[in-house]
């Protein structure tokens, strides 16, 4: 499976250098979880390129990482993989560190929601 950057120029995905992340894992699909798109997506999986999908998927993209403001705080959500071997990727570990820096306010970036 290949995880891609929504915007390769966004500061939070610079660790991937425009190459995304290729790994072996199974994707999770959340029915209507993001219907209002009140977040800034960072990473996605192209659903049309996933092999062996057992049910119909209505969206072309499955967002697996995003950020947003919440009250006075910041949220960094990331689920590109739950496979332990994915943590062998230095790029993914740098991405997590950058996400934590965003949460504590040390890394400034566009976190405006994309909306419907």
> Do the domain assignments include residue 52?
yes
> Do the domain assignments include residue 112?
no
Whole-structure pTM value: 0.83
- Write the CB contacts of 24 (distance below 8 Å, at least 6 apart in sequence): 1, 83, 85
> Do the domain assignments include residue 109?
no
> Do the domain assignments include residue 34?
yes
Q: Which residue has the tokens 């997506």?
A: 41
Alpha-carbon dihedral sign for residues 69, 82, 12, 99: positive
Q: Nearest CA to 22 among 57, 46, 39, 54?
A: 46
Q: What is the largest CA-CA distance in the chain?
A: 42
Domain residue limits at 36: 2-75+84-103
> Do the domain assignments include residue 31?
yes
- Name the helix (H) or strand (E) containing 109: none
Count of structural domains, the chain: 1
SS3 97: helix
> Do the domain assignments include residue 114?
no
pLDDT in tens, 55-113: 555 556 778 899 999 999 999 999 877 777 778 889 999 999 999 999 999 999 999 99
């Amino acid at each position: 499976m290949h995880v891609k950057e929504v915007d390769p120029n966004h500061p939070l995905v610079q660790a991937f250098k425009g190459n995304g992340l290729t790994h072996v894992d199974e994707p999770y699909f959340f029915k209507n979880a993001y219907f209002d798109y009140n977040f800034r997506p960072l990473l996605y999986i192209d659903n049309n390129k996933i092999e062996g999908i057992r049910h119909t998927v209505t969206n072309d993209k499955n967002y697996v990482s995003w950020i947003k403001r919440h009250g006075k705080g910041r949220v960094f959500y990331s689920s590109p993989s739950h496979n332990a071997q994915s943590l062998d990727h230095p790029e993914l570990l740098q991405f997590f560190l950058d996400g934590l820096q965003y949460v504590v306010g040390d890394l400034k970036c566009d976190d405006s929601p994309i909306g419907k």
